[in-house]
Structure 1
Amino acid sequence: METSTFFGLFWGWVIVIISGILFVRPSVLRELKKLVVVDRGSGIMYGFLSIFLGLGTIILHNVWTLNWQGFITIIAWLSLLKGIYIIAYPEPSKKTDFEVRILSTRIVLAIISALALWMLVVIYMK
Structure 2
Amino acid sequence: MTLIIERILAIFLVVTGLSYLVQSLLWRDLVKELRQNPSKILLWSILFLPLGLIIVIEHNLWIGNWQVIVTLFGWLMTLKCVFNLLFPSWSNFILKWSDEFLQRYIQISGVVVAILGVIIAFFSF
* TM-score bracket for the superposition, by shorter chain length: 0.7 to 0.9
Q: In structure 2, what is the equivalent of residue 115 of structure 1?
A: 116
Cα distance in 1 between the residues matched to 2:106 and 2:23? 14
Aligned counterpart in structure 2 of residue 53 of structure 1, from 48, 51, 54: 51
> Which string of whole-angstrom CA distances, capped at 9 and with x for unpartnered residues, describes residues 51-110 of structure 1?
211112111111111223211111100100111122222324223323344443433332
Cα distance in 2 between the residues matched to 1:17 and 1:74? 19
- Following superposition, the deviation at residue 117 of structure 1 comes to 0.3
Gap runs ≥5 in structure 1: none
1:74–1:16 distance in 2 versus 1, CA, 3 Å: same
Cα distance in 2 between the residues matched to 1:41 and 1:91? 10
Q: Percent identity?
A: 20
Q: In structure 2, what is the equivalent of residue 98 of structure 1?
A: 97
Aligned counterpart in structure 2 of residue 12 of structure 1, from 10, 13, 27: 10
Cα distance in 1 between the residues matched to 2:107 and 2:24? 9
> Which string of whole-angstrom CA distances, capped at 9 and with x for unpartnered residues, describes residues 2-50 of structure 1?
x121011101101111111121111221122023211222100111223
Higher-RCO chain (CA-CA 8 Å, sequence separation at least 6):
2
TM-score, normalisation: structure 1: 0.83
Aligned counterpart in structure 2 of residue 81 of structure 1, from 65, 79, 82: 79
Cα distance in 2 between the residues matched to 1:108 and 1:86? 19
Q: In structure 2, what is the equivalent of residue 63 of structure 1?
A: 61
Q: In structure 2, what is the equivalent of residue 28 of structure 1?
A: 26
Alignment RMSD (CA, Å): 1.8
